[in-house]
Structure 1
Amino acid sequence: MTIEHASVEIARKPWGRLDLRPWSSIDAATDPVGELWLERTDKSAPNPALLLKLLFTSQPLSIQVHPNDAFARSIGLPNGKTEAWYILSALPGARIALGLNRHLTPQELRAAIRDGSIADLVQWRPVAQGDVIFVPGGTIHAIGADIVLAEIQQRSDTTFRLFDFGRHRELHEDSVVAASEAGPPPTQPPPRRLTDARLVLVASSHFVFERIDLQANSHWGLQTDREAWILVIEGEGRIGRANATVGDAIFMESDSAGIDVGSSGMSILIAYPGPDPVASFLQDRSERMTKPTDALSGSEIIEVLT
């Protein structure tokens, strides 16, 4: 039984940002931060199956692909990397790429990687705040500039690059050809309203990803029989004994917690292992909830050298 205010690990990237507000007060100084990894505070605990990140882009990331479970296991890895993105903010003209415009043969894919034409063969699409994108393992994809997003993923950092926008990092032609579904992306079902408060963004075999919108000054209960990541994206409140505001994350596992919502309401993203939404996950306790007294301290911050 666990409820923790998540620690924050910093990953500095050339495509990142110096200003992370309002999602974090971390001062990036002159070294851009590309990712914040939200992790267990208890470093002796086993790693959760899912990893929650915040990404901040000022330049496009590489065009890349992650392996699915079958390919990952064929090369000795425990699992692949399926992920989903929730767009927290995006400037006009911001875009992502998902899949290809048409199916390519292995020979065509190799040629497109070698001559750089793959950048024109991916399906670029505009994005705006509130969009959700599901990226199954094996899907060629990219995140463009001027985006802040929350990413939930299988715990894996295996990435094969096809194109790097002039940054001259290694490309992984053979692995890309072996691991990718070199064609259009699978159809993504639209978000599904589960209750007035709960919107299911993605329901997959690897995780369920929801947005939950809670009214001002309301009281709720969370009950989970598995791990769950919670990220506050609007407003503020109290989750268990943790005061939580925009950018704060909470990890729960096989536990229950009360939520006391602040005067401006609160919206959270929550992710937990799939495949199906848990109907009893959230209970309205506005008539009988009492507030706890002791608050947990804020997040620990750790630098990640990448």
Structure 2
Amino acid sequence: MSIIQLEPAFKDYIWGGTKLKEKYNKHTDLDIVAESWELSVHKDGASTVASGEYKGLSFPEYLEKKGKQVLGTDCEKFDRFPILIKFIDALQPLSIQVHPDNEYALRVEGEYGKTEMWYILDCEPDSFLYFGVNREITKEEFRKRIEDNTLLEVLKAVPVHKGDVFFIKAGTIHAIGAGIQICEIQQNSNTTYRVYDFGRVGKDGKPRELHIDKAIDVSNLLPIESDFKACGPESTDAGSRTVKLASCEYFTTYETTVDTKTTIHVDQSSFVSIIVIEGECTITNGDTMIQARKGDSIFADAGSGDVTIEGKCQFIKTCE
């Protein structure tokens, strides 16, 4: 078993900015980088192996060569890789949107639904996002407010701060606001129903497609309570502090701040993703050593054993 570094697939959606290149060490010829898909096997943008003997392979090719055992026993219940991890830089607000659950998405779109979590990497002062509705509404009112451009009046606007955590269950109406950078851990899906887009047009000069009927089918129109903080208690060792951020059927995530050194034991139950979000570190597993810095993505096969992270850094760990 082993650890590898991954290179992302990039997306230049019209609302994106340049902070992923400026602050997260992303290298691409694209002028705008809205998203970097750091850990992805999705057909719309697979990441690439950037280190070791498999360097140059796409991440799906790597998994095919290594075999399903690198995913771990907890992933045996899935018929495909369960998650996708990305960085997002929203210079402008994203569309108001919603994702379907598994039942609806598999029946209508042929892929899984999308439950996700957002970790706020950074944000401009007074930034906010939309998270669900601010009061119960009916499907009829939902449709009418989309049609007469008053939908924002019934959405819950939430101020954001660096380090906030948003768990967004499938069916939750949501939108990232302007001036926010996010690390998103989500189900392995790219199905999004756009509800409202602020009257914008795409690169072709035409209004971007909306998916109103499907959105009405899948949206939760009841308010959702959350404190937008990490879900678990903090634990400490001699050189680091760790807190659980979120957990669901598809992923469990932790944030670790390393002052000197910490060790993760990667057993046979699950792979581990390490996304460095601050600082620099040396990541070691057996004879393999990777120098990592802010923005880097590392994948550890299930059963890799002890993975040591040494340096002054902060990272997000994800496993099944």
1:24 has 2:20 as partner? no
User: Normalising by structure 2, what TM-score?
Assistant: 0.79
Query: 1:257, CA displacement in angstroms?
Result: 4.1
Distance 1:212 1:166, change over 3 A: same
**Aligned twin of 2:235:** 195
Task: Answer whether contact 1:48 1:227 (CA < 8 A) is retained.
Answer: no
Runs of 4 or more, structure 1, over 4 Å off, are: none
Bigger strand fraction = 1
Q: Deviations over 1:172-218 (max 9, x none)?
A: 111001111122125468422252122001122221111011222x2
Measured in 2, the distance between the counterparts of 1:242 and 1:223 equals 16
Bigger helix fraction = 2
**Aligned twin of 2:218:** 179
Measured in 1, the distance between the counterparts of 2:159 and 2:228 equals 18
1:261 to 301, 310, 313: 310
AA aligned opposite 2:36 = L
Q: Deviations over 1:234-293 (max 9, x none)?
A: 22111222111111111122123432412xx221101122xxxxxxxxxxxxxxxxxxxx
AA aligned opposite 1:270 = K
AA aligned opposite 1:271 = T
Measured in 2, the distance between the counterparts of 1:8 and 1:239 equals 19
Measured in 1, the distance between the counterparts of 2:107 and 2:116 equals 20
User: Normalising by structure 1, what TM-score?
Assistant: 0.82
Pairwise CA RMSD of aligned residues?
1.9
1:251 to 296, 299, 302: 299
Q: How does 1:270-289 map to 2 (within 5 A)?
A: 270-273=317-320
Task: Answer whether contact 2:134 2:155 (CA < 8 A) is retained.
Answer: yes
| Alignment: residue pair count | 269
**Aligned twin of 2:117:** 84
Measured in 1, the distance between the counterparts of 2:228 and 2:94 equals 25
**Aligned twin of 1:75:** 108
The percent of aligned pairs where both chains have the same amino acid is: 32
Task: Answer whether contact 1:239 1:257 (CA < 8 A) is retained.
Answer: no
1:239 to 283, 286, 289: 283
Q: Deviations over 1:15-46 (max 9, x none)?
A: 111343221242566x3110001135242125
AA aligned opposite 2:263 = W
AA aligned opposite 2:307 = G
Distance 1:219 1:170, change over 3 A: closer
- Residue 120 of structure 1 aligns to a residue whose secondary structure is helix
1:103 to 100, 117, 136: 136
Query: 1:48, CA displacement in angstroms?
Result: 3.0
Measured in 1, the distance between the counterparts of 2:24 and 2:275 equals 10
Task: Answer whether contact 1:160 1:176 (CA < 8 A) is retained.
Answer: yes
AA aligned opposite 2:173 = I
AA aligned opposite 2:308 = I
Moved more, 119-128 or 44-53: 44-53
Q: Deviations over 1:70-103 (max 9, x none)?
A: 2212325342100001111101111111000112
Which ranges in structure 2 are unaligned for 5 or more consecutive residues?
39-46, 50-56, 65-79, 201-206
**Aligned twin of 1:142:** 175
AA aligned opposite 2:265 = L
AA aligned opposite 1:267 = Q
Moved more, 88-97 or 248-257: 248-257
Q: Deviations over 1:135-165 (max 9, x none)?
A: 0011000000001110000010000011101
Task: Answer whether contact 1:118 1:162 (CA < 8 A) is retained.
Answer: no
Distance 1:74 1:186, change over 3 A: farther
AA aligned opposite 2:8 = V
Q: Deviations over 1:89-132 (max 9, x none)?
A: 10111111100011221111111111121122110111011111
Query: 1:221, CA displacement in angstroms?
Result: 3.6
**Aligned twin of 1:161:** 194
